[in-house]
Amino acid sequence: MAERSRWSPAALLEWGLVVCLARTFAWLPESAAYALGEAAGRLAYRIDGRHRAITLENLTRAFPGTSSPPEVEALARAVFENLGRTAVDVARSDRLLRGSSPEAVRIDGLPRLQEARRRGKGVLMIGAHFGPWELLSLIASIRYEPVHVVARPLDNPRLDDMLTALRERGGNRVILKRDAILAILQALRRGETVGFMIDQHISEKDGVVVPFFGRPASTVFAPALIAMRSGAAVLPVGIIREGRGRYRVRVAPEVPVRRSGDLRADLVENTARFTAAIEALIRAHPDHWFWVHRRWKTQLPLDPKLGTGVGGQGSAVVAAVSDSA
């Protein structure tokens, strides 16, 4: 099925447009490339009514009583401009491999990663679709060490091939989500580092419902389960744009993992802790996050236990981790 879709007119057109735009961003002078990316973001805000509405609703409900409608709209426009800049960042990321100036990338908290790595139980870097997030693994491979990146395949196999090649530069490796649990555990047992995005909605059978910006959000519990089982250190990581072609990576303090013996309660508590760390990063730079995503789809209330995660894929994840011990 994937091979047939690879040659579909829609897949070819989408791939061709992305390649053309990426090459244009890479070829243009820096100032022109970013000006074009920002203009593309502003245009998307005007013509993409669906995602504009999602963004405005998300921002209004995430910051109740603290922002006026004009402030929310200005922030929403900034979110779309940021997405345009992110496209430019990714298209021009080969410059990082070729050796950009040391001032182009600053890393706050790198010793935290290095210390966690020395313990020998692996490192679980939790992150979000925040800033130019696709650059994180590349920067890690240059300034820290190659990492494993957990990712879902894109629907367009041509774009998926292109993005996988991008993510695997510098010796990094992609772990597909459908094969993730055992592969992650094996990497952690070797003392390696695995990156896992935890900021998007997941079906309730695969998640637990924890607070995110004060609202119930179904959130993947696999990172919490893996951390509890492996003993890996959990560090939140994000990348902040400090100007055109200039970035600051922030490695936040390690998140303590609770192991009380009550598996379900620990999964919820640890997932909530991880999510709170990501929320703190987003609150500091709200224009950097992917507000166009329908993050709060769940209709369930906050759940003090694992809840519906005990069925379906949720129980399969628990069993996979237990069997690998």
The 3-class secondary structure across 75-120, one letter per residue, is HHHHHHHHHHHHHHHHHCCHHHHCCCCHHHEEEECHHHHHHHHHCC
Q: What is the pLDDT of residues 281-313, one digit of tens each?
A: 999 999 999 999 999 998 888 866 544 333 333
Residues 185-218 pLDDT 10s: 999 999 999 999 999 999 988 899 999 999 999 9
Structural contact between residues 208 and 219, judged by C-beta atoms closer than 8 angstroms: yes
Q: Is the dihedral of CA 115, 118, 121, 122 positive or negative?
A: positive
What are the sequence ranges of the domains in the chain? 2-323
Question: Residue 60's pLDDT is what?
Answer: 95
**CA-CA distance, 279 to 211, in Å (whole number)?**
10
> What average pLDDT does this structure show over 168-187?
92
Nearest to 210 by CA among 265, 255, 252, 288: 265
Q: Is the pTM of this model over 0.85?
A: yes
Query: 4 by DSSP, 3-state: which?
Result: helix
SS (HEC) of 162-222: HHHHHHCHHHCEEEEHHHHHHHHHHHHHCCCEEEEECCCCCCHHHEEEEEECCEEEEEECH
pLDDT confidence of 320, banded at 50, 70, 90? Answer: very low
Structure tokens of 126?
A: 């939790």
- Percent of the chain exceeding pLDDT 90 equals 76
Half-sphere exposure of 208 (CA within 13 A, CB side): 28
Single-letter amino acid, residue 194: V
Whether domain 2-323 has CATH 3.40.1130? yes
Please answer whether residues 281 and 128 qualify as being in contact, where contact means their C-beta atoms are separated by less than 8 angstroms.
yes
> Is residue 63 classed as helix, strand or coil in its secondary structure?
coil
Q: Is the pLDDT of residue 318 over 50?
A: no
